[in-house]
Structures are given as C-alpha cells and as structure tokens.
Structure 1
Amino acid sequence: MNFSTLLFVSLFCGLILAQDGVNAPETGKISKRHQCFPDMCKVLQEFHAMKQKLGVLETRLKNSENQILELQNIERTKVIFSAATGGNGALGPFNTDTTLVYRAVKTNIGKAYNQATGIFTAPVKGIYYFTFFYHAGGAQPARLFLMRNKQIVAATSDHSTSYDGADNGGNAVFLQLQRGDHVYVRLCAHTHVWQNDAITTFSGFLVGQV
C-alpha cells in the first residue's frame, strides 16, 4: 500500500467520524471516536513499518543484483594473446634498445596486444601472466627485458661464444597491472635474436581481476 492509499484511508476514516459527530448523539460520538481512531492509528503504524521493511528488502535486492552484474562482467572479460616476431633471419643488433614487434599473431582475445607496436595494454585492473622466449645465434650476445611501462620486471640473456652454434632462453612473470599499463619486450642494444613465425615469442593472459 502506497502513501496515496494510506492518505485516502485516513481521510475516509475522518469523514466517517465527522458524519457520526453530526448524526449521532453527543455521547455516541465520543464513544465511536474512542473506539475507531486508536484502531486506525495502529493500522497506519503497521503499514508504515511494513513500508520500511519493504524499502530495506528492495535495497538488499538491488545490491544483490549489482553484485551479480559485476560477477558477470568479470566472467566476460577474457584477455589472451600470443605472438611471434615473424620474418626470417637475425633481428638486430641495433645501436639502441629497441622494442620488439611481434607481428605474427597467433591469438589476441580481447584485442589488448597491438601487433603494430608490440605493446600490450591492460584493459582492466588485475593479475596477468606473461612469457617471452627467444632463439639466437651463439656468436653474438642476446639480451631481452620484459618491461612494465618503463620498469624492467624480468630478463633473459646469454653471452656470445665461439663454440655454441645457437642459444635459447626465456622467462615468465605474474604482474599486478592497473588499467592502461603497458607491457612489452625490449631488445638490448648490440644484441640480437632470430626471428620467424615460431621461435621468438611473447604471450600473456589475464589470470583474474582484483
């Protein structure tokens, strides 16, 4: 029962009491007022208490609905990517540190990895897992840094040798990222890797939102 209905009940009761006061003897009017008015106040109080309880219940239901929607949004957020350098032959050495661009994209669910720049951009706050691997010739050094924004968070490297024909290396790390954080791989100056569609790779996925 809403406020308008309660108001109508109150006015109706008051009208009946007024009519009783006109049509009935003085003693009857006093008797009816003492019998009816306290009962109606009790009814109005009960309806008011019920309205408050319904308001609390409605608030709880709304909060539960928001929590369910939030969980559904988390479930729908999927971020998975894996890419290789592509090309063929040596990549590097360069005179300065260089961001590697992995152009041969295998998977890019969520479109968070940019194959034109080599940069992964976190679409949501959460825990992410990244791996990066390389293959390189043994005659020259190889050194890769995994970067979060401008900070080194993991590295892999090997020095040059005259007796080792090829080298392989890699690393992996869990990172807690904010939305908009960048993750990418840097090839250090004066080092190199070998590139093709399979052997030098960069991958990652969203473990869960926090």
Structure 2
Amino acid sequence: YIILMIQNVLTVLEARLSSKRPKVAFSFGLSDAGRIGPFNTDITLKFTKVFTNFGQAYNPNTGIFTAPVRGVYYFRFSAMNSNVNGPLGVQVYLNGKRVSWNYGRDSNWYGRATNAFIFQLEKGDVVYLVLPVGYDIFDHNYNVTTFSGFLLFPV
C-alpha cells in the first residue's frame, strides 16, 4: 500500500512539474510565393509555412512572436533573394525597436542573410522580422527563407 501511495504522489508531482514547464518552439517558412517586394513601406514578414509551433507563440497571421512567459529565448532566421529587382534586407525588431539590420547582395544574383539572437524576454514581449522599404526577399517550396525560435529556459 505504501509503495502504491508513493507511486501516486510521484505521478502527481511529475504531472505538476511537466505542466509548469512551458513548451515554446516554432519553425516557419516564409511562403511559396517566390519574390516578395520591394515595397514603398516597411512590412512585417508573415511566415506562413508551419513546420512546428509548440505553444502557439508565433502568430502566422501577424508575423509576431509573443513571449508567453518570462525567459531566455533563442531566435534565428535565414533569408534569400534573387537580386533581380533589389537587394535583400531583413530587420529584427524587439518590442517595436530595431535591434538588427541584415542585408545581402551577391554578384551571382543571390543575396543571403542569416543571424541568431538570444533575448531575455518578459511575458508579452514581441519579436518579429521586417522587410524594409526598397528591399525584397524570396521563398518557394525549397524553404530558403525561414524563422525559428524556442524558449531556452524560464527565468
């Protein structure tokens, strides 16, 4: 009887611990549309091809990741364009403030940019990528433009 009680207590504790550990991870491709841009205004990139979205913290309708809990998060993106109509440009924003400006242009007609960040976020903080005025970006079924992130640990 005592062993059965201990097993029950351990099962309850394990369930409580696992439910308190938030599961946050996402990975998206941009689209199958080919070239996007250039535009005459900055646009938030909306990554719509879902590879995974544990916790639903990334919203493909808005292009915005919203931190569900206070913690340390890892983000990365990879982008490409064909440079036919303009250079590649991607900006990383945290709570409405640009924290990174990434661009690429190659003499072989392809621009590439990639970057990664670790941010300590408060619950409700937002992270998103912006295509700036005059720049373009490219994606198709090979998923050459992607955005991913996950919670490293809560704090």
How much does 1:73 deviate? 5.8
Superposed, 1:1-210 pairs within 5 Å as 72=17, 76-139=21-84, 140-159=86-105, 163-197=107-141, 198-210=143-155
Cα distance in 2 for partners of 1:180, 1:107 equals: 21
| Matched residue type, 2:33 | N
Aligned residue for 1:164, secondary structure, equals coil
- Percent identity for Structure 1 against Structure 2: 39
Q: Per the alignment, in what secondary structure is the counterpart of residue 78 of structure 1?
A: coil
For structure 1, list consecutive stretches of 5 or more residues without a partner in the other structure: 1-67
The Cα shift of 1:74 comes to 7.3
Q: 1:189 to 1:179 in 2, by over 3 A?
A: same
Q: Which amino acid aligns with 2:101?
A: A
Question: Does the CA contact (< 8 Å) of 1:88 and 1:196 recur in 2?
Answer: yes
CA deviation profile, 1:43-77 (whole Å, cap 9, x unmatched): xxxxxxxxxxxxxxxxxxxxxxxxx79x8267531
SS of the aligned residue for 1:132 comes to strand
- Contact 1:154–1:173 (CA<8 Å) still a contact in 2? no
Counterpart position of 2:8: none
**Highest Rg: 1 or 2?**
1
CA distance in 1, matches of 2:88, 2:111: 8
Q: Distance in 2 between matches of 1:172 and 1:121?
A: 17
Please report the RMSD computed on the Cα atoms of aligned residues, expressed in angstroms.
1.9
Q: Distance in 1 between matches of 2:19 and 2:126?
A: 21
> How many residue pairs are counted as aligned between the two chains?
140
C-alpha separation in 2, matches of 1:114 and 1:104: 11
Letter in 1 for 2:151: L
| Cα distance, 1:191 vs structure 2 | 0.3
Query: CA 1:209/1:194 → structure 2, altered by over 3 Å: closer, same or farther?
Result: same
1:67-102 Cα distance to aligned partner (Å, 9 max, x none): x79x82675311000001112310000101100000
Matched residues in 2 for 1:103 and 1:121: separation? 16
Larger relative strand fraction:
2
The runs of at least 4 consecutive aligned structure 1 residues that moved more than 2 Å come to 73-76
Report the TM-score when normalising by structure 2.
Answer: 0.83
**Matched position secondary structure for 1:102:** coil
After TM superposition, the score normalised by the length of structure 1 is 0.62
Contact 2:87–2:111 (CA<8 Å) still a contact in 1? no
Q: Is contact 1:79–1:108 with CA below 8 Å preserved after alignment?
A: yes
Residues 41 and 133 in structure 2, CA contact (< 8 A), matched pair in contact too = yes
